[in-house]
Amino acid sequence: MASAYEGDSQDLRIVLLGVCGAGKSSVGNAILGQDVFEESRTRESEIQRGRVEDRNISIIDTPGFFNTHLTDEELQEQMMKSLSLAHPGPHVFLLVINLETFKEDERNVVEQIQEYFGEEAFKYTLVLITGREQMSNREWMVLKHNGKFHDLVSYFRGQYHEINSKNETNQSHIKKLLQKIDEFIRQHDGQHYNNNTDSVSVTESRKEKKQQEENKSKVKEQEIERQERITWDTLETISAMEERTTQALFEPQNECLIPYVRQTKKTTYVHKEIIQQRKNARMLPFSVEENNTTQPGEKF
């Protein structure tokens, strides 16, 4: 099969993307025709090579987006590693969408791709839909015209290809997929995604996002401190009023009210102690009314 990238060592470089559980590793194994990727939760970007349809193919598997086993920094590191493994750049990002597990929140992968690779990566992304055989034609047509699904694919210029799930995939399906990829690459004149194409904008995007998070954290912390001051000042005012009231109640004619005042002072003291403890632990402020430590019928 003639490749669409004759001047590029005829080495097709594919980076697999998708959410956790989408089946990226299975797709990689199906393309290479052998089980080279472990089909479990991928934690590191990994490259495997093979020769398929008379061309060399390098496939880079990546950890899934929204991976709960990796921090944001670790996931970012692995995405950057995938580009290093695909040097000088992938010809195509295959965004694997499994119809059996597709969720509307997978639209957020668009933000993930933009964050890690920049908007330029959209042009080099081909959506690979798996599990089509599990749907009737009517169900598939309904999904294709679903607003959420349509919006997701439209980010990538409507470029997608269907393939059966792991147990239903055969060599003819892989051949058609590679033909689709060749056609896709020809649309870009055989060019590949350049690691440096969006390096500046991606870096700036990350810096901007980090700054926004820091600003949000700072605003939240300031609000916490403000609420603590308000609550503390309120309790100080109540305490001062109670002290004045207590002095007045020690007049002979008001002695019967002394037990009630003592109970009120004790409650205020406990509230102040709790606030101080929460302040020391930098916990969220709370309402005195909502967090009364005295349960019905309970006595201090």
Q: Please state whether the predicted TM-score (pTM) of the whole model is above 0.75.
A: no
- Report cis status (omega within 30 of 0) of the bond before 88: yes
The pLDDT tens digits of the residues spanning 96-134 come to 998 877 776 666 888 899 989 998 999 999 999 988 888
Q: Dihedral through CA 233, CA 220, CA 105, CA 70, nearest 10?
A: -120
Q: Convert the pLDDT of each residue in 256-290 to its tens digit.
A: 555 555 555 555 665 566 666 666 665 554 444 44
Q: The tokens 């990226």 sit on which residue?
A: 24
So where are the chain's domains?
Answer: 11-197, 216-280
Task: Confirm or reject CATH 3.40.50.10320 for domain 11-197, answering yes or no.
Answer: no
d(CA 213, CA 81): 24
What sections of 5-91 are H helices per DSSP? 24-32, 72-85
Tens-digit pLDDT profile for residues 185-207: 999 898 999 866 454 455 555 66
Average pLDDT over residues 74-93: 94
Report the C-alpha gap between 156 and 125 in whole angstroms: 6
Those residues with Cβ within 8 angstroms of residue 231's Cβ, 6 or more apart along the chain or in another chain? 275, 285, 286, 287, 288
Centroid of chain to Cα 140? 27
Contact between residue 32 and residue 50 where contact means Cβ atoms under 8 Å apart: yes
Contact 113, 95 (CB under 8 A): yes
How many beta carbons lie within 10 A of that of residue 95, not counting itself?
30
Q: Which two tokens stand for residue 246?
A: 């207590």
User: What gap in Å lies between CA 54 and CA 50, rounded to an integer?
Assistant: 10
